[in-house]
Amino acid sequence: MNNFEFKNPTKIIFGKNTIEKLKTEIPQDAKVLLLYGGGSIKKNGIYDQVKTALTNVNVIEFGGIPANPEYATLMEALKVIKDQNINYLLAVGGGSVIDGTKFLSAAAVYNGDTPWDILTKNIRTNKGMPFGTVLTLPATGSEMNSGAVITRAETKEKLAMGGPGLFPEFSILDPQVITSIPRRQLANGLTDAFTHVLEQYMTYPIGALLQDRFAESILQTLVEVAPSVLKDPTDYQAASNFMWSCTMALNGLIQKGVPTDWAVHAMGHELTALFGIDHARTLAVIAPSHYKFNFESKKEKLAQYGERIWNITEGNTEDKAYEAIAKTEAFFHELGIDTKLSNYTKEYEGTAEKISKRFTDRGWTALGEHQTLTPEKVEKIIKMAY
């Protein structure tokens, strides 16, 4: 086990009809900017629940944050924050709205030339503008971590940011919100959370027995509840386990003391930036090829995963590892998620070279848990994923 530090101060408020607790979490004298996405919260009743809970608070609204939160849109929100002297942010949405809110939390207190620096110069935020969240889509784990990913259409870039000052003060998780989520988004959420765990687990054995088992617990639970979540989102037991699994998949706990990969995300982000493919689906496209390409260095963990998640008992380590990759791909297919780039676009030729060059240009020459994944290897993996 590697040395580690862990601190996660976010207060989770989990369960049925918990949105009303907003009124005790946000200071009565706050001037709040309520941030949301495309407006689905106005149809599914969540907006009304939020407004009712905040009856006595000064709230200004900013809707329209798109999936893959867009820098240009966020700059408009930043102007509202400054013009209106906002001092508290409330994200009501999924990972995109929450990530966008984290950017705003950082940008609101940033004193440099341009907030774009936060993304390109790896500016860590030690204390941002305080914010809370009401999660409407289980998937990214953003509701209980301090990281975010922001997209800039102008340059077709998708960049990460974070810092210890960007944990939500609180996050309200009412599993009932999933009843109004389209099946496609639910499948994305399941895939996203599943792949988040894989990024922190599918590396090499390091004797972190408890972390491995926690990671496997999340994978097992997602596999167990996935059919019920897709079939009947009103199944509260399935919904609550789905929601809590998504949060635990990326709140920092399972990555502590172990090597992590994250190359699947690095490659996947480019597919979203280039083709607009849903984030989760890009992960399902990249992961199988990534594991096949890096088979030798990952085969012990792949086999352990095969045994513990997919109950594979036959064969040697290699056999189990190969079968585990096949089972993973089959699981994505069962969720209705395609795992080849050509399923999503006819314009895939040249993508591998393009992404490889971007990584070279950014100096990303050593990705993955061994820091040996070069742009040349990235090119091969993406071609395998065509």
Q: Which residues bind a copy of itself (CB under 8 A)?
A: 1-16, 18, 207-211, 213-214, 216-218, 220-221, 224-225, 236-237, 240-241, 244-245, 248, 256-257
Residue 17 beta carbon to a copy of itself: minimum distance, rounded to whole angstroms? 8
**Residue whose token pair is 């979490």:** 25
Name the minimum Å distance from CB 142 to a copy of itself: 17
Which residue number, 112 or 205, has a Cβ lying nearer to a copy of itself? 205
CA 75 – CA 85 distance, rounded (Å)? 15
Angle (CA) 47-98-89 rounded to 5° is 70
Least Cβ distance, residue 5 to a copy of itself (angstroms): 5
Report how far apart, in Å, the C-alpha atoms of 68 and of each of 1, 71, 88, 96, 314 are: 35, 9, 22, 6, 42
Q: Sign of dihedral through CA atoms 93, 94, 96, 100?
A: positive
Identify which of 4, 254, 2 has the alpha carbon closest to the alpha carbon of residue 145. 254
Q: Bridge-partner residues for 85, per DSSP?
A: none
Task: Supply the minimum distance, in Å, between the C-beta of residue 3 and a copy of itself.
Answer: 3
CA distance 59 to 251: 29
C-beta of 176: minimal distance to a copy of itself in Å? 11
Three-state SS for 132? strand
Smaller CB separation from a copy of itself, 158 or 256: 256
Nearer to a copy of itself, 266 or 309 (CB): 309
Residue closer to a copy of itself (CB basis): 220 or 260: 220
Task: For a copy of itself, give the closer residue by CB, 210 or 330.
Answer: 210
User: For the chain, how far is it from start to end, CA to CA, in angstroms?
Assistant: 36
CB of 110 to a copy of itself, least distance (A): 25
DSSP state of 348: -
Give 141 or 375: the residue with its C-beta nearer to a copy of itself: 141
